[in-house]
Chains A and B, each alone.
Chain A
Amino acid sequence: MPILECRNLTKHYGPVCALDGVDLAIEPGRIVGLLGPNGSGKTTLIKLANGLLQPTSGEILIGGEAPSPRTRAIVSYLPERIALIDWMNVRQQLDFFQDFYADFQREAAEQMLAHLSIPTGQTVKQMSKGTREKMQLILVMSRKAKLYLLDEPIGGVDPATRDYILHTIISNYNPEAAVIISTHLIADVENILDDVIFLNRGKIALQSSADEIREKQGKSVDALFREVFKCWEN
C-alpha cells in the first residue's frame, strides 16, 4: 500500500489554483524529490499531507487514511520555516518531542547534537539561523517515522550546512519509510533521490525514477529540470 496517495487532489486559494487534479502514489522505502519552481504547489501538497490545509476537492491519504492525529503520529514533518519554540532550550525541545512522539529516538538526537557541539542549555533564541535549521532537522530525523516530509530542507543555508543536512537525512531516515524532499535546488539533492516528481503550476509534469531519467534521456535530473522549467526561449 502506498504511504502517500493523492487522488485527483485539487486546492484553490480563492481564485488561484495551487494544485490541479494531482494523482500520485508514493511507496515506502523511496526517497522522492518533489521538484518544481517557486509557486508550483510543493508546499501546498506537503501542508495538505499534514492536515494544515484542507483540499478543495479530491483526497490525500497517508497509509490509506485522511490526515488526522493518527497519521501525524507516523509522519515526521520539517516545515519550510523554523517552528521551534523560541524560549525552550535544547533539553526542553527533546522533552517536548519525546512526550508527543512515541517513535522519537532521544539518544540518536542527543548524539547528533553532541556531534555539533550544541549545548543542551542553549535556547532557540540564542542559536544562529543555521544552528536552528540543524536543530529542527535533527529533531525531525530522530523519529522512526513511516513518512518524512521535508519542505525545502536546504533552502537558504550555506553549502557546508547543505551537505550536513543531506548527510543527516540519508544516514538517519528509517529505511522502511518514504522520504519526500521538496526543493528547487536540484543539483544538491539529485544524488540521493530514487524518484522525482516535477510539479508545474499545480500539475504533475513528470514522475519517474532518477535512474530512468539518466538512462533513457541521457541527462541529469538537474538538466532535465532546467529544460522542463525553462523560463525563456533562445
Chain B
Amino acid sequence: MLGKLMKHEFRATARLILPLYLVVVALAAFTRVTNWILEKNDNGILSLINGLFIFLFVVSLFASVIFAVVMMITRFYKNLMTDQGYLMFTLPANIHELLWSKLFVSVIWFIGTVLVDLLAGFIVTYEAGMATDLFNGFRDLFSQLTSYYAMNGTAFVLEAILAFLVTMLTGCLCFYAPISIGHSFANHKTLLSVVFFFAIQFVLRILNIFGFASLAQSFPESGPAMVPEQIVSLVHSAAWGYIGYELVLGAILYFVTWIMLKRHLNLQ
C-alpha cells in the first residue's frame, strides 16, 4: 500500500515541481549562453540581458528550495486535513503508510532540488576540465584528510548524508506535528497550527541553548592543544550526537503526528 500511496504522491507533486526544475535548468542555460556571448562580444544591451538572466537564475535557485518546502507543507495540509482527508483516511491504508508516503516523497524532492540546483550551478560556471578538477579536488581533500588528520573520509561523507536525510525528515515533521495538533480542534485550525508551530520551535530553541551550554561545559579543557586524532574523534562524535538528536526529535514529532491523526482527527 505504501508503494501505491507514493506513486500517487509523486503524481500529485511531480506535476508542480518538475516544471520548476525545467525553468531552473533553462535559466542556467540562458545565463551560460549570454555569459559566453558576452565574453566574445561585449555590449551594453547584452550585459543588461545577461544581468537579468543572472538575477532570474539566482531567484530560481532560491524559489526551487522554497517551493519544495511549501509543497511539502501544503500537500500534507490539503491532502489530509481538508475535504480530501475523507478520501485519504478511508483508504485501506494505515496512518503510518499515509505519513511515510508523504515523508519519503518530500525528502526525495528535497534531494532532487539540491541536485537540480547543483546541476544548474554547474551549467552556469562550467569550464573545460572543470569536472576533472572538481573530482581531483575532492580526491585530494579525502587523501589529505585521511593521511594528515587520520580521518575516515568515507565515514565522514556517510555521516553527512545521514545527517542531511534525518534533518529533512525531522524538518517535515516539524510542520506535520503542529498542523495535526491544530486541526484536532473544532475551530481556528490554521491559526492554532501556526501557534503550535511557533510553540514547538520555541521549546526546541530553549532545549538547543541548554544542549549547547552543557556541550560547551563538557568540552575538553585542552581544546586548543588537541592532536588531530582527538579533533577527528570529536567531529565524529558531534556528527553522531547531532544525528541522534535529530532522530529522537523526529521520533517524538512523528509520534505526536501519528497519535493526533489516529486518535484526534477532526475533519470538518
Chain A contact residues, CB within 8 Å of chain B = 13-14, 47, 50-54, 68-70, 72-73, 75, 77, 79, 81-85, 87, 92, 96, 99-101
Contact = CB atoms under 8 A, between A and B. Distances in A.
Contacts of B92: 69-70, 72-73, 100-101
B4 interface: yes
Contact of A85 (B12, B89, B262, B264): B12
Contacts of B84: 83-85
Interface string B2-23: 0010011001100100000000
Given A96-B8, A100-B92, A69 B1 contact: yes
Contacts of A54: 262-264
Given A99-B4, A100-B4, A83 B87 contact: yes
Q: Is the interface of A mostly helix, strand, loop or mixed?
A: loop
A104 to B, nearest CB: 11
B12 to A, nearest CB: 7
B12 A52 contact: no
Contacts of B86: 52, 77, 79, 81, 83
A134 B82 CA distance: 20
A83 B87 CA distance: 6
15 contacts: A50-B90, A51-B89, A54-B262, A54-B264, A68-B94, A72-B92, A75-B90, A77-B90, A83-B84, A83-B85, A83-B86, A85-B12, A85-B87, A92-B11, A99-B7
B83 interface: yes
Contacts of A87: 12, 15
Nearest to B97: A69
B225 interface: no
A84 B87 contact: yes
B interface residue count range (under 10 / 10 to 19 / 20 to 34 / 35 or more): 20 to 34
Nearest to A80: B86
A87 B266 CA distance: 24
B93 interface: yes
Contacts of B15: 87
Interface in B236-268: 262-268
B91 interface: yes
B186 interface: yes
A145 to B, nearest CB: 11
Contact of B91 (A53, A72, A92): A72
Given A75-B90, A79-B87, 8 more contacts: A47-B267, A51-B89, A53-B266, A69-B94, A79-B86, A83-B86, A85-B87, A99-B4
A81 B85 CA distance: 11
A52 B87 contact: no
Nearest to A93: B87
Contacts of B93: 69, 100
Contacts of A85: 12, 79, 84, 87
A69 B95 CA distance: 9
Contacts of B83: 79, 81-83
Nearest to B264: A54
A184 to B, nearest CB: 19
Contacts of A69: 1, 91-94
Contacts of B267: 47, 52
Interface in B79-114: 79, 83-87, 89-94
A100 B90 CA distance: 10
A99 B101 CA distance: 15
Contacts of B91: 69, 72, 100
Contacts of A84: 84, 87
Contacts of A13: 186
A70 B12 CA distance: 25
Interface string B210-223: 00000000000000
B8 A72 contact: no
Nearest to A136: B87
A161 to B, nearest CB: 19
Contacts of A99: 4, 7-8
A52 to B, nearest CB: 6
B264 to A, nearest CB: 8
